[in-house]
């Protein structure tokens, strides 16, 4: 299919066959698993996935690509959801009679990758694992450790829910058109049992947002609406630290102390 990539949809189509093979190997699709692909595009992942499984759900917003897919794939093999992934309810695909959850894969549009990740967190109870191609810088932030430059709000919020693994770096020339940045493939697995549990998750999110809102300032300043000097002393957390110095465990500790 001749298709001009649309900037508004953040389209960059993966074309490097060796890399595609590596991604499919990392995903390791198995028969009868419910797999959902976000942004299938021209089938770089879709086609090799369909060699391994009987059926695939795809979420594609571009109507031109949807029209092409309707002619390219058998209806029994691919269910096409022509919808914005940010509005898609993943839970609707879960078979309540089965204990199997969803596996989600995709080459995510880089311009909306972070909102999609947060939307998927709302559906995390129904997801077994996720494998995504993303901008390398975003993947580095996702897996970053405390007290490193890439560690931030995204790191804390995702690591609270997920165990993540940086798999491979993908150069711009692996795509058509080539993006201006390097990409990376990441594996995300929801914690079966969360290492730390916030009693009030909404409060946890607010604390993390406030802490990283002015990341050059100390948490004595950024969290002053939540904690005073005696609170920090009680928690045994230095108020002179900055947001990036605190672990997920620290943020949960602060949240549960405030909500007590």
- Residue 63 tokens, joined: 């109507």
Mean pLDDT of 180-196: 95
Mean pLDDT of 71-85: 94
In the chain, at which residue ranges do the beta strands (DSSP E only) sit? 13-14, 34-38, 56-59, 78-81, 102-107, 127-135, 162-170, 175-176, 183-190
Task: Note whether 96 and 122 are within 8 A (CB).
Answer: no
For the domain covering 7-190, report its CATH number.
Answer: 3.40.50.150
Q: Is the pLDDT of residue 89 over 80?
A: yes
The pLDDT, as a whole number, for residue 12 is 72
Q: Is the pLDDT of residue 7 over 80?
A: no
Ordered by start, the domain boundaries in the chain are: 7-190, 201-259
**Lowest-pLDDT choice from 91-100, 137-146, 250-259:** 91-100
Confidence label for 248 from pLDDT (cuts 50, 70 and 90): very high
Query: Looking at domain 201-259, which of 1.10.8.100, 1.10.132.50, 1.20.1250.20, 3.20.20.70 is its CATH number?
Result: 1.10.8.100
The pLDDT, as a whole number, for residue 9 is 42
Higher-confidence residue of 5 and 19: namely 19
Same fold, 7-190 and 201-259: no
């Amino acid at each position: 299919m001749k298709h001009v990539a649309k900037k508004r949809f953040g389209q960059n189509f993966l074309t490097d066959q060796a890399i595609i093979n590596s991604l499919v190997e990392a995903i390791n699709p198995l028969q009868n698993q419910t797999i959902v692909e976000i942004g299938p595009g021209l089938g770089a992942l879709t086609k090799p996935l369909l060699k391994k499984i009987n059926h695939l759900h795809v979420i594609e917003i571009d109507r031109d690509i949807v029209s092409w897919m309707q002619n390219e794939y058998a209806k029994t093999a691919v269910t096409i959801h022509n919808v914005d992934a940010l509005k898609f309810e993943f839970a609707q695909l879960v078979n309540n009679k089965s204990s199997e959850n969803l596996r989600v894969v995709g080459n995510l549009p880089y311009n909306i990758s972070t909102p999609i990740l947060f939307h998927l967190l709302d559906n995390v109870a129904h997801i077994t694992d996720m494998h995504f191609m993303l901008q390398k810088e975003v993947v580095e932030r996702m897996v970053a450790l405390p007290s490193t430059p890439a560690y931030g709000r995204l790191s804390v919020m995702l690591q609270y829910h997920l165990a993540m693994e940086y798999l491979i770096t993908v150069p711009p020339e692996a795509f058509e058109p080539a993006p201006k940045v390097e990409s990376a493939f990441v594996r995300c697995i929801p914690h079966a049992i969360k290492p730390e549990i916030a009693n009030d998750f909404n409060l946890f999110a607010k604390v993390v947002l406030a802490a990283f809102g002015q990341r050059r300032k100390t948490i004595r300043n950024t969290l002053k609406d939540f904690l005073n000097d005696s609170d920090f002393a009680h928690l045994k957390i230095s108020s002179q630290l900055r947001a990036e110095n605190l672990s997920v465990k620290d943020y949960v500790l602060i949240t549960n102390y405030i909500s007590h």
